[in-house]
Amino acid sequence: MIVTTNLASAILMGVFLVAVVGVVIRLRASRSGPTRQSTAADLPQTAAGTPRSTAETGPGGGSSATPIGWVIGFLGLVVVAGGSAVAFVAGNAPSGIGPQMIGAVLVVVLGGLLCSYLFSGVYLSLRSHGRKSAEATGVALWLLGLLVVSVIAARLVFLA
């Protein structure tokens, strides 16, 4: 009975999350206002020998202007990490791997997700406020380092 209740709750929260994302996307589209017709002056200037696909997507091959791939990848990681955490708490560990090892891997994966979310938030915030890429990266890394030192200091003070 409890498992059915938890499953129904998880499904309802997923539907709610999709609804919230849909509302946010519609609000952003309505706030952007009417679009105007683009002219030749709006097109990016590229070298004559540069292929069109490289000019649009950049040297890495992926488009940084439309981050839907990043969003899907991040949501996939969250789903996998959340499912693994639920399986770990329920006691569904694969044979041959101890629960301590699975717990350590989950802590590393969830900590990595949290740190990457914090890093990307600080980085994108600084870039949107006119800072250069190197400066934004430095501040984001400095903040992550400060967070790690704070956690270590808290453990030393409260667990010693």
Choose among 75, 98, 60: nearest CA to 21.
75
| All structural domains of the chain with their residue ranges | 66-159
Q: Is 114's pLDDT higher than 70?
A: yes
Least-confidence region, from 79-83, 131-135, 136-140, 144-148:
79-83
Burial of 140 (0-12, 13-18, 19+ CB in 10 A): buried
What pLDDT, on the 0 to 100 scale, is given for residue 93?
65
Dist CA 16 CA 10 (whole Å): 10
* Cβ count near 124 (within 10 Å): 13
Query: Residue 139 in contact with residue 114, Cβ under 8 Å?
Result: no
- How far apart CA 90 and CA 69 sit, in angstroms, is 31
Distance of CA 53 to the CA centre of its chain: 26
- Average pLDDT along the chain: 76
Q: pTM of this prediction?
A: 0.47
Over residues 21-78, the pLDDT tens digits come to 877 888 787 776 665 555 656 555 655 555 544 444 444 445 455 678 777 877 887 7
Separation of first and last alpha carbons in the chain: 43
pLDDT in tens, 91-112: 776 667 777 777 787 888 888 8
Region 78-85 average pLDDT: 78
Give one word for 132, left, alpha or beta, with left for phi > 0 and alpha for psi -120 to 50. Answer: beta
- Could you give the CA distance from residue 61 to residue 67 in angstroms, rounded to a whole number? 13
Q: What percentage of the chain carries pLDDT values higher than 90? A: 19
Rounded Cα–Cα distance for residues 63 and 45 (Å):
17
Identity of the residue numbered 84: S
pLDDT value of position 19: 79
